[in-house]
Amino acid sequence: MKNFSVTREKIELSPLIEWVQDRNCGAITTFMGTVRELTNGKKTIFLEYEAYQEMAEKMLQKIGEETLGKFDCSKIAIVHRIGRLEIGDVAVAIAVSSPHRDASFKGCRYAIEKIKELVPIWKKEHGEDGSFWVSSQSGARGEERK
């Protein structure tokens, strides 16, 4: 497993945790972003994610390296899923290890915020009221695409 990847496969958290385990670390923090059914009171049926995969993986690696340097974290693994995702599916998972818990919590939070801000992955929400591209920066719905 690559520790920074974009995949069409179901994301499993266990391999990420195994990848970041370190005998000198007392903390592993994980984050899983899942597909929710309701967004701003509107029902979602499913999501579709698209990515510029090569660039997205490079950006995930850059974010990972920044996180390690900024928060005294030891290891990090990030996986983002693309394709059609159903309600409850994991869209993104992050695992961060560090000697102490504060750094791993901060590192995990920093990584997900930077992913949403910088990584070329796009989300299309399919709901009862139509289909919309969603801006990752604002969470705002774009133009309707039927």
91, part of any domain: yes
Domain holding 98, by residue range, is 4-136
**Considering Cα of 55, then 36, then 78, then 29, what sign does the dihedral take?**
positive
Per-residue pLDDT of the chain (146 residues; tens, 9 = 90+): 579 999 999 999 999 999 999 999 999 999 999 999 998 888 999 999 999 999 999 999 999 999 999 999 999 999 999 999 999 999 999 999 999 999 999 999 999 999 999 999 999 999 988 888 986 654 444 544 33
- Residue 141 forms part of a structural domain: no
Total tally of structural domains belonging to the chain: 1
In 3D space, the residue among 75, 134, 140, 138 whose CA is nearest the CA of residue 103 turns out to be 75
Q: What is the pLDDT of residue 50?
A: 96
Is 143 a domain residue?
Answer: no
Asked whether residue 146 is assigned to any structural domain, the reply reads no
pTM of the model as a whole: 0.90
CATH of residue 110 = 3.90.1170.40
- Max alpha carbon distance in the chain (Å)? 52
Q: How far apart are CA 10 and CA 29, in angstroms?
A: 20
